[in-house]
Structure 1
Amino acid sequence: MRKTLMVLAAIVLLSSLAQLFFAGYFHFQNTIEAQREAGVYHVLNGQYVLRYGALLAAIVAAIARMGSRTIWLAAGIFLMTWVQLFIFIIGGMLTGSSEDFITPSGSWVASIHPITGLLIIFMSYWLFSRARAAALNPQPLPPKDTSSDAPTSPASA
């Protein structure tokens, strides 16, 4: 299970790095139509591959008994993908911004999106590091307690 977690964590890390590439690809398009087409990659990768990869990683980390820190790290990435989405939804409602018209205050709120995106990249790296260490350096099992198997006699005590 720990190797499965390492593979999932690698997918989450690569997906988070791809988000940065897709954001740049989206930003540097010449026309609005080309931007909308390019933005699909960023949206689909973030809302499906990254989000549900992190959710699967949290579930596998729990099954593999990786410890609460690793489980919460994977769950945190999953939750941060929702924060990324809600930045635009709630920010648009509070500032009166829309996809076609962005107010100055809406720009300030939307500027949080790349900062939290960088946090997701760092969290993904930490998750991969923890999963890789656990998969490549497994802990030995504790020794069996053999004293309870042998009958004890009062003379030997």
Structure 2
Amino acid sequence: MRKALLVISAIVLLSALAQLFFAGYFHFQNTIEAQHEAGVFHVMNGQYVLRYSALLAAIVAAIARMGARTIWLAAGIFLLSWVQLFIFIIGGMLTGSSEDFITPAGSWVVSIHPLTGLLMIFMSYWLFTRARAAALNPQPLPPKAAASDASASSSAA
């Protein structure tokens, strides 16, 4: 299960890094129509690939008994993906902004979006390093199982 977590956490990290690329790709388009078409990559990757691979990582981390910190790290990425979405929804509702008309207050609220995105990239890197360390280091046997293995090897000798 720890190797599965390593693969899933690599997908989470690559998806988080792809989000940064897709945001740049979206931003540097020449026309509004091209921006809308390019924005689909950023939206779909963030709402589906990143979000649900982080959820899967949290589930696999729990099954692999990786510890509360690792489980909450993966769950935190999942929760932050929802925060990313709600920044736009709640920010628009509180400031009167819309896609067609952005108020100065709306710009300030939506400016939180790239900061939480960077936090998600760092968190996905931390998750990947924890998963890699766990996959490379063999898991020790519980004390009861280790005692039974030692008695079995001494009786065989």
CA distance in 2 between counterparts of 1:6 and 1:148 reads 34
Q: Which has the larger radius of gyration?
A: 1
Q: Which has the higher helix share?
A: 2
SS in 1 for 2:30: coil
CA distance in 1 between counterparts of 2:13 and 2:119 reads 12
Task: Indicate whether 1:144 and 2:147 are aligned.
Answer: yes
SS in 2 for 1:91: helix
Count of residue pairs the alignment pairs up: 149
1:3-152 correspondence runs (5 A): 3-142=3-142, 143-145=146-148
SS in 2 for 1:144: helix
* Residue 148 to residue 133, structure 1, CA distance change in 2 (3 Å): closer
Counterpart code for 1:82: W
CA distance in 1 between counterparts of 2:128 and 2:47 reads 20
So what's the TM-score if we normalise by structure 1? 0.91
Deviant stretches of 4+, over 6 Å: 146-149
* Residue 145 to residue 95, structure 1, CA distance change in 2 (3 Å): same
Deviation at 1:146, TM superposition (A): 7.8
Counterpart code for 2:52: Y
Unaligned runs of 5+ in 2: 153-157
Task: Name the residue aligned to 1:155.
Answer: none
CA RMSD of aligned residues (A): 1.6
Deviation at 1:138, TM superposition (A): 1.7
SS in 2 for 1:29: coil
Counterpart code for 2:70: T
SS in 1 for 2:8: helix
SS in 1 for 2:147: coil
